[in-house]
Amino acid sequence: IAYFLCCCHFPPAFEKPWREIPWGDLKYVQHYKPSKGSVKHLRVMLYGPVGSGKSSFINSVSSILRGRMAIPAAVSAATSEISFTTKYETHKIEREDGFYPLVFNDIMGLEDGTNTGVQTEDIKLAMMGHVMDTYLFNSKSPLSSGCLGYNKNPSADDRCHILVCVISANTAETKPSVLQKMKTVREAARDLGIPQVCILTHIDEACGITESNLKNVYHSKYIKRKVSFCHSTVGFPMNCIFPVKNYSEEHRLDNDIDSLILDALQSIINFGDDFIKKL
Ligand SMILES: Nc1nc2c(ncn2[C@@H]2O[C@H](COP(=O)(O)OP(=O)(O)O)[C@@H](O)[C@H]2O)c(=O)[nH]1
Ligand SMILES: [Mg+2]
C-alpha 53 to ligand 1 mean position (Å):
4
Ligand nearest to the CA of 204: 1
Contacts of 222 (CB under 8 A, 6+ apart): 6, 12, 206, 207, 210
58, 106 contact by CB (below 8 A):
yes
- Quick one: average pLDDT of 40-53? 93
Rounded Cα gap, residues 124 and 219, in angstroms: 37
Does the CB atom of residue 246 touch ligand 1 within 6 A? Answer: yes
C-alpha 78 to ligand 2 mean position (Å):
10
Contacts of 131 (CB under 8 A, 6+ apart): 88, 122, 125, 143, 149, 150, 151
- Report pLDDT digits (tens) over 81-121: 555 557 888 999 999 999 999 999 987 666 666 556 677 78
Rounded Cα gap, residues 108 and 122, in angstroms: 10
DSSP H stretches of helix in 53-109: 54-66
Does the CB atom of residue 243 touch ligand 1 within 6 A? Answer: no
Phi, psi of 87 (to 5 degrees): -95, 140
Does the CB atom of residue 82 touch ligand 1 within 6 A? Answer: no
State the Cα torsion 148-150-153-156 to the nearest 10°: 130
- Report pLDDT digits (tens) over 258-274: 999 999 999 999 999 99
| Topology (CATH level 3) of domain 2-78+99-234+244-278 | Rossmann fold (3.40.50)
